[in-house]
Chain A
Amino acid sequence: MLELKGLSFSVVEKNENGEEKRRDIIDAMDFTFEAGKFYAITGPNGSGKTTLSRLIMGINQPTAGRIFFEGKDITGMTITERATAGISYSFQQPARFKGVTFRDLLSVAAKTEKEEKLLEIVRRVGICPLSFLDKPVDSTLSGGEIKKIELATTIARNPKLAIYDEPDTGIDLWTIMPMVNLLKKEQIEHKTTTIVVSHNRSFLDVADDILIVDHGKLRYHGNLKNALPMLNDFRICSFNPCPEGEQDAQCFR
């Protein structure tokens, strides 16, 4: 249902010597997401997971490659057009407004201001108390609260494709499992194609497929069991990058 063909996002950066160098944050990625499946994307910090999500939503423009959604080339579409087509994205760092409440965002997402409809959505989402409705979505919200609200606005849209970018950051221990179950339930009941970017094992456990991204490339696609050796391998962690081609022990200290 979602097809990435040679998708790239490159920026020009200056290296230590002041020379300009191209860096491929997403590097010629090819992949097809199948309808109705639950995907978990993981990978080290800075590997390109958020960038990939933003490319799909249309927030970033690819420097090469194309994106197809339900067979249609959406590469040139705006964010609004992609949203209208059924793509939805929960931001890793949700926007904070001034004077805009959760109710306002939810009404836009659900295209209704009817109280009973909004309450129904909040109940369906479950992880946000009803008292959240009139909270302003501003800098006074805690990190976990704003992530819950962000997730609720995505679900309220009834998207065909939902991308959640680290939905569990800042979420308390008691809410993680309800959140995992919620996304799983949404996938099953509404046939939502679901992509969750996460480092949390709980999401990997319920995913149909695991994708591991590293240095802008898809390193692995398959089930969790076969992914485990890679997930336990320190070499994939980029805090101590190895010079290319070198498999020297000292570089993964």
Chain B
Amino acid sequence: MLSALDKDLLKSVADLEDIPKGAYNIRKNGKLESRSVSAHINIESDEERDGIIVTIAPGTINESVHIPVILSESGLNDVVYNTFVVGAGSDVTIIAGCGIHCGGPEPEGHEGIHEFRVGKGAKVKYVEKHYAAGQGYGKRTLNPTTKVFLEENAHVEMELTQISGVDEANRINEAVLGAGSSLVIMERVMTEGDQKAVSRNEITLAGENSSANMVSRSVIKGNSRQNFYATMVARQKCFGHIECDAIIMDNGANETIPALRAEHPDAELSHEASIGKIAGDQLMKLMSLCLSYEEAVNMIIQGFLR
């Protein structure tokens, strides 16, 4: 049974009001809570390690899989390894997310490793949200890892969001792109208080005419700290771009290191990085439209993280 609290977490991480339609797997406090499969999407428990294997049949169009994780037990550290095998030519949305509600003094955490094997010409949109809440002062940790392998002409779009309340996050994204495939990653992280978030990304453009675009948006409030590292390696004629922007408010700290490595003369790689306060001209424009200083800050941050 899902409690009101669970439903609240589900809503925050998966935009779900209730049990989703289609295939889903809800994991609560380290155990399977409920599961449903569809004609084209199978979910089974991994025999070798804790986690699931989601298999999407070739040619599956316009279907979605929800795999939220909720933790509401203080003192739990949940480790899970999920594998997604996406059949050739399919077009699916995968919605993952982890919501932590920490009510007690013990630390709570989740380490999720998501591996994607995306078949030829398949299209995947992956949405992942992380959120923590609760009155307890136990430390909430989230260490997500994604490993993406794109076969020929596959297309993957990833939206990775850490909304609020996570004390420590160590994210790792790895991707290897086959010929003609493309990858778009949009990462948004907001930290506050004494939170820490580190994101490490390694994208290998292995196939000819592959392309990758990694966008990172960070908002760093209070005394929090965020570090962003991204490396793009080009092995073939390909296109890659890294864009990382950080807004620092209060006394936050940020380190951003984009790195490009070309091992082929026709590789086209570029990056843009910026770190700074909220721009004064944006604030003044919004205030001249009657917003207060605080409202203006909010609107700018919301847009930035959109």
> Chain A interface (Cβ within 8 Å of chain B)?
57, 59, 78-80, 83-84, 88-89, 91, 93-100, 104-105, 108-109, 111, 153, 157
> Chain B interface (Cβ within 8 Å of chain A)?
217, 245, 279, 281-282, 284-293, 299-300, 302-306
Least CB distance from A196 to B in Å reads 17
Q: What are 19 sample pairs from A and B whose C-beta atoms fall under 8 A apart?
A: A78-B293, A79-B284, A80-B293, A83-B288, A83-B290, A84-B290, A89-B288, A91-B281, A91-B284, A91-B285, A93-B281, A95-B282, A99-B304, A99-B305, A99-B306, A100-B300, A105-B289, A108-B289, A109-B290
**Contacting A80 at CB < 8 Å: which of B281, B282, B291?**
B291
Least CB distance from B301 to A in Å reads 9
- Cβ-closest 9 pairs across A and B: A99-B303, A100-B303, A99-B306, A95-B281, A79-B287, A95-B285, A95-B282, A83-B290, A109-B289
In the assembled complex, which residues on chain A have CB atoms less than 8 Å from the CB atom of B304? 97-99
In the assembled complex, which residues on chain A have CB atoms less than 8 Å from the CB atom of B291? 80, 108
A-B contact count (CB 8 A): 62
A109 vs B289: C-alpha distance when bound (angstroms): 5
With A100-B300, A100-B303 known to touch, is A95 a contact of B290 (CB < 8 Å)?
A: no
Known contacts A59-B288, A91-B285; 16 further A-B pairs (Cβ under 8 A): A79-B284, A80-B291, A80-B292, A84-B290, A88-B288, A93-B281, A94-B285, A97-B304, A98-B217, A100-B300, A104-B299, A105-B289, A108-B286, A108-B299, A153-B289, A157-B289
Least CB distance from B206 to A in Å reads 31
In the assembled complex, which residues on chain A have CB atoms less than 8 Å from the CB atom of B289? 83, 105, 108-109, 153, 157
Structural contact, B245 and A157, CB atoms closer than 8 A: no
A91 vs B291: C-alpha distance when bound (angstroms): 16
In the assembled complex, which residues on chain A have CB atoms less than 8 Å from the CB atom of B290? 80, 83-84, 108-109, 111, 157
Most chain-B Cβ atoms within 10 A of its Cβ — which of A96, A97, A109, A157?
A: A97
In the assembled complex, which residues on chain B have CB atoms less than 8 Å from the CB atom of A57? 288
Main secondary structure of the interface of B (DSSP, over half): helix
In the assembled complex, which residues on chain B have CB atoms less than 8 Å from the CB atom of A89? 288
In the assembled complex, which residues on chain B have CB atoms less than 8 Å from the CB atom of A84? 290
In the assembled complex, which residues on chain B have CB atoms less than 8 Å from the CB atom of A94? 285
Least CB distance from B24 to A in Å reads 30
- B296 (CB) vs chain A CBs: closest residue: A80
In the assembled complex, which residues on chain B have CB atoms less than 8 Å from the CB atom of A95? 279, 281-282, 284-285
Least CB distance from B282 to A in Å reads 4
- A85 (CB) vs chain B CBs: closest residue: B290
- A88 (CB) vs chain B CBs: closest residue: B288
In the assembled complex, which residues on chain A have CB atoms less than 8 Å from the CB atom of B245? 98
Structural contact, A97 and B284, CB atoms closer than 8 A: no
Structural contact, B288 and A79, CB atoms closer than 8 A: yes
